[in-house]
Amino acid sequence: MPACAIEEAIDIKGYVEIDPEECKGCGLCVAACVQKVLSLSPQLNRYGYHPATNEEKPCNGCGLCFYACPEPGAIRVFKAID
């Protein structure tokens, strides 16, 4: 796993980061997220896809969206570690 710990402590369980330029807007992550945190952005990315976004909302960091996504690095999932 890449070492990408976020330094600042935030009082949330989890968070995802989506790279809008790697995302192809397939929507599989949106369908996979039980918490309904994700949606497809009305914006188009450079390649003409509506990338997925969490609108910077935190979530539980369950990782379901990561495994649904076909792109190797489009989604990164962070989880709060005590």
Partner 1 sequence: MSELKCIHGKADCFYEHYERKGEAQHQTHYCPGCGHGIAHKLLAESIDELGIRDRVILVSPVGCSVFLYYYFDVGNVQVAHGRAPAVATALKRAHPEAIVISYQGDGDLAAIGSAEILHAANRGENYTSIFINNAIYGMTGGQMAPTTLMGNRTTTTPFGRNVFNDGYPLHVSEVIATLEAPTYVERAALGNTKQILQAKKAIKKALETQMKGLGFSMVEILSPCPTIWKMDPVDAQKHVREGLAAVYPLGAKRDRTKEAEPRPAHIPAPALEELPRILKLDKGSDAAMPAHHETVDFRVKVAGFGGQGVLLLGQLLAEAGMDYGLEVSWLPSYGPEMRSGTSNCHVRLSNKPVDSPFVSSPNVLIALNEPSLRKFISTVEPGGLVFYNGTAIPADCVRADLRMHPIPFFAVADELGSTKVGNIVVLGALLSATGVLPLEVVDHALPRVVKAEKWIEIDRQALRRGASLLCPEVPVHV
Give the binding site for ligand SF4 (CB under 6 A): 14, 16, 18, 23-29, 32-33, 35, 37-38, 51-52, 54, 59-65, 68-69, 71, 74-75, 77
CA–CA gap between residue 2 and residue 81 (Å, rounded): 16
Q: Which residues pair with 18 in a beta bridge?
A: 75
- Contact 49/32 with Cβ under 8 angstroms? no
Reference 59, options 30, 38, 73; nearest CA is 38
The amino acid that residue 60 corresponds to is N
Q: Which is closer to ligand SF4, CB of 3 or CB of 54?
A: 54
56 contacts partner 1 (rule: CB under 8 A): no
76 contact, one of ligand SF4, partner 1, none, CB 5-8 Å limit per kind: partner 1
Q: Which is closer to ligand SF4, CB of 71 or CB of 80?
A: 71
